[in-house]
Amino acid sequence: MQILIDQELRSRLPADGPVDVAAALDVATQCSAQQCRPGAGRTHEYLQTLATLGLVDASLARIVEPHLDAHAILAQAGMSADIPAIGADAGSTWGVYAAHGSGLKLAATQGPDGWTLSGSKPWCSLAGRLSHAVITAEVEGGGQQAFAVRLDPRHVRVAPTTWVSRGLAAIPSGPIEIQALPAVALDSPGWYVQRPGFAWGGIGVAAVWYGIALAFRERIVHHLADRARDPISLAQFGDVDEGLFTAGTCLEHAAAAIDAGHDDPMLLAQRVRAAVARVSEKTLRSAGYVLGPGPLVGEEEYARRVADLGVYLRQHHGHRDLAYLGELALGAAERRHG
């Protein structure tokens, strides 16, 4: 199955053992140098890159995806990644920190010398390794605004955190504490979640899920190649193959729709994410049925991938996201039929 997989890129990616964060960040800057981002006629290439990264290594994709998303956000704000005010250039490595947490607040203040940020922000992956980030903060009046910042250790402290999960263990994702951090505003309050690119980024994450799930399909193929073809295993594999074909086709449709100017990007994103998440979870379950416990307890790469996908898929919020999809789909139907 070759849907959305770049075999040439795959051959160049590091694929042995736990992810090397420094090497992954090099891959990230190489991809961003090629203007790999959604929209402007290149969305298929963007999703293909992310799916291929996911197929090779989930942690590698988890490092590269937000870096590419940050570059896309800057472009959508009419800015380049060269921002002298915060020391950003083509070699900078980026994260995107837009999560919210109970009891944690990041406030933005505008003074005579520009914007500064102070407070706390949760779920800041690799904050101690990246040079820059797109980050959201609360502005006066209660709105959320996006900013570009340098993760300057004089102003940013990575708070101690415990990560007990085996999944994505190479990528610390805890809170940061910020004090008087200089920031460059991106567009206006509310723009970050209102722009079409917010939805497009969610589809990019789904492309990573799809790529990780494809790796389980490959492992099943390898397993069945050396064994008698019993009907139960063949049925399980057929179910996996059909699901991944559907998910890949769904992502290809999304790429074409984005570049054609789809008029409801959030509805598109919620449909794609729901479909790919369901297929990925089914693939993970079916791989366990076909392969049994052996790879899970005896193969480092397989066990790590199982844990990685389990954690990664929690970026989809199950029935809560399906309820949102239902609301969007019903609204679209009512508008269409008057």
Which residues fall within 8 angstroms of residue 251, CB to CB, at 6 or more apart? 3, 4, 47, 51, 203, 206, 207, 210, 272, 276
CA–CA–CA angle 280, 260, 77 (5° rounding): 85
Tell me, what's the pLDDT at 162? 87
Task: Give per-residue burial for 160-175: e unless 16+ CB within 10 Å, then b.
Answer: eeeeeeebbbbbbbbb
Residue pLDDT tens, the chain, 338 long = 678 999 999 999 977 678 899 999 999 999 999 998 999 899 999 999 999 999 999 999 999 999 999 999 999 999 999 999 999 999 999 999 999 988 899 999 999 999 999 999 999 999 999 999 999 999 988 799 999 999 999 999 999 888 999 999 999 899 999 999 999 999 999 999 999 999 999 999 999 999 999 999 999 999 999 888 899 999 999 999 999 999 999 999 999 999 999 889 999 999 999 999 999 999 999 999 999 999 999 999 999 999 999 999 999 999 999 999 999 999 999 998 87
Tell me, what's the pLDDT at 1? 63
CA dist list (Å): 18 to 7, 56, 149, 153, 212: 21, 11, 29, 27, 15
Q: Which residue has the tokens 């990528």?
A: 171
Tell me, what's the pLDDT at 16? 66
Q: How many CA atoms lie within 13 A of 183 on its CB side?
A: 30
Angle between helical axes of 265-291 and 300-312 (0-180°, round to 10) = 150
pTM reported for the whole predicted model: 0.96
Q: How many CA atoms lie within 13 A of 62 on its CB side?
A: 25
Task: Give per-residue burial for 195-221: e unless 16+ CB within 10 Å, then b.
Answer: bbbbbbbbbbbbbbbbbbbbbbbebbe
Give the domains, in start order, of the chain with CATH numbers: 7-77 (no CATH), 93-185 (2.40.110.10), 193-337 (1.20.140.10)
Residue pair 277/313 in contact (Cβ under 8 Å)? The answer is yes
Tell me, what's the pLDDT at 18? 83
Q: Which two tokens stand for residue 100?
A: 């919210």
CA distance 177 to 91: 25
Residue pair 215/286 in contact (Cβ under 8 Å)? The answer is no
List the beta strands (DSSP E) in the chain. Answer: 94-97, 106-111, 114-125, 132-138, 144-150, 156-158, 173-186
Tell me, what's the pLDDT at 279? 98
CA–CA–CA angle 201, 259, 49 (5° rounding): 50
